[in-house]
Amino acid sequence: MGGGGVLVLSVLFMTIVAPLWIIFHYITKWRSSKGLTAEDEHTLAELWESAGRMENRIVSLEKILDAEAPGWRNRQ
């Protein structure tokens, strides 16, 4: 096998074997984690509460804009 054969094998490894190896590695890690940690759950709950507060603020701002600048939604 000359230099061309090594090139072909390295290309095959990089295009087929390496991506599959990486994919299966991370699938195995994902399955072993089995869900969220307590810290992840806490962070998720904080994000959920924050999103709810932001939604309420946006609704309030839209009501104010509707009252003070009725055509604001149609402007570009």
30 lies in the same domain as 41? no
Side-chain half-sphere exposure of 71, counting CA atoms within 13 A: 3
Q: Say what the pLDDT of residue 42 is.
A: 94
Q: Which domain holds residue 71?
A: 37-76
30 lies in the same domain as 42? no
52 lies in the same domain as 71? yes
Residue pLDDT, tens place only, 21-58? 999 998 888 887 777 788 988 999 999 999 999 999 99
41 lies in the same domain as 75? yes
28 lies in the same domain as 51? no
Contact 52, 45 (CB under 8 A): no
**Which helix H or strand E contains 65, and what residues bound it?**
helix 38-68
Contact 36, 44 (CB under 8 A): yes
66 lies in the same domain as 41? yes
What's the CA angle centered on 75, arms 73 and 76, to 5 degrees?
115
Q: How many residues does the chain have?
A: 76
